[in-house]
């Protein structure tokens, strides 16, 4: 059994960037990694008694609320340490899109699956598809993956419905290549659609889950990294910092890789942020 803890960052009234990211860990090490993150956060708060109880990455790194009493370099170093820790304990799954590109793609695509015109659902099903693709290749796969998100009552039923229905539109994202008559044929058997994913997603309050807080860190780092491509020289120092964090994480980020040039693949390539590699 595997658990993927996932969160998102970005709203349409905040800018053009939306990111969704998470960490996937094996069940046998779930308690170990949860305890380790709890200890790291507890130790940071012990060294900095002014720390607020609630940990939200944006407030933390920008020094909002009680976090402003802690030196910026101390906060930045904590995120560096967490990124190095993430690179050891799990695999990273994420997606970065442009709201503008998403709206255009939805308007120009007929016959999209139900709820694919919802950016949150579309992003979560992309991540589910990449998890499906990677896990179905494991020779000694010890179980399916449970998707766990920060509390989101509005979209969770739509995601669960999408996984349960397993529309063939998503096949090309995780189809298996086979050679036939010197041609590559991409196939997915109907009973294998999203068969690596537990067909009901779950949500949990981030205060009750350390690894959802880790997912919040991941999603905000990737979001800010993409936003900074358009910020200009005035933000050069911040650009360097977030590039450093992304460089730590990228070797662990699972990418889509080779796929047939079918509608679902075209869609996700069209809506991604210009500087995002899938």
Residue 91: Cβ within 10 Å count: 20
Find out whether 216 and 150 touch, Cβ atoms under 8 Å: yes
Residue 208 has pLDDT above 80, yes or no: no
| CA 272 – CA 94 distance, rounded (Å) | 11
The pLDDT confidence band at residue 142, using thresholds 50, 70 and 90, is: low
pLDDT, tens only, 16-57: 999 999 999 999 999 999 999 999 999 998 999 888 888 899
Instruction: Name the residue with higher pLDDT: 216 or 186.
Output: 216
Strands 145-150 and 202-204: parallel
| CA 136 – CA 178 distance, rounded (Å) | 15
CA distances from 251 to 114, 136, 144, 199, 228 (A): 33, 20, 23, 28, 21
Find out whether 151 and 203 touch, Cβ atoms under 8 Å: yes
CA distances from 153 to 27, 118, 201 (A): 25, 14, 11
Residue 233 has pLDDT above 80, yes or no: no
Find out whether 163 and 213 touch, Cβ atoms under 8 Å: no
pTM of the model as a whole: 0.94
pLDDT, tens only, 50-84: 888 888 999 999 999 889 999 999 999 999 999 99
Average pLDDT over residues 191-213: 87
Mean pLDDT across the chain: 92
User: How is residue 56 annotated by DSSP?
Assistant: -
């Amino acid at each position: 059994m595997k658990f993927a803890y996932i969160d998102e960052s970005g709203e349409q009234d905040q800018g053009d960037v939306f990111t969704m990211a998470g960490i996937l860990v094996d069940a046998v090490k779930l308690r170990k990694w949860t305890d380790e993150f709890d200890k790291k956060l507890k130790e940071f708060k012990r060294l900095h008694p002014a720390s607020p109880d609630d940990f939200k990455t944006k407030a933390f790194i920008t020094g909002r609320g009680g976090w402003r009493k802690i030196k910026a370099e101390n906060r930045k170093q904590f995120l560096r340490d967490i990124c190095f820790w993430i690179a050891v304990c799990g695999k990273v799954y994420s997606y970065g899109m442009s709201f503008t590109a998403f709206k255009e793609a939805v308007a120009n695509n007929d016959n999209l699956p139900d709820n694919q015109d919802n950016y949150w659902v579309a992003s979560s099903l992309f991540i589910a598809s990449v998890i499906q693709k990677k896990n179905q290749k494991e020779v000694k796969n010890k179980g399916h993956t449970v998707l766990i998100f920060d509390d989101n009552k509005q979209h969770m039923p739509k995601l669960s419905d999408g996984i349960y229905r397993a529309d063939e539109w998503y096949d090309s994202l995780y189809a298996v290549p086979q050679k036939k008559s010197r041609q590559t044929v991409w196939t997915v058997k109907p009973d294998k659609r999203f068969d690596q994913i537990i067909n009901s997603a779950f949500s949990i309050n981030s205060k009750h889950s350390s690894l959802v807080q880790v997912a919040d860190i991941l999603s905000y780092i990737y979001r800010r990294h993409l936003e900074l491509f358009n910020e200009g020289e005035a933000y050069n120092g911040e650009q360097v910092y977030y590039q450093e964090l992304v460089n730590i994480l990228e070797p662990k980020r699972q990418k889509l890789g080779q796929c047939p040039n079918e509608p679902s693949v075209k869609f996700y390539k069209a809506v991604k942020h210009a500087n995002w590699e899938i």
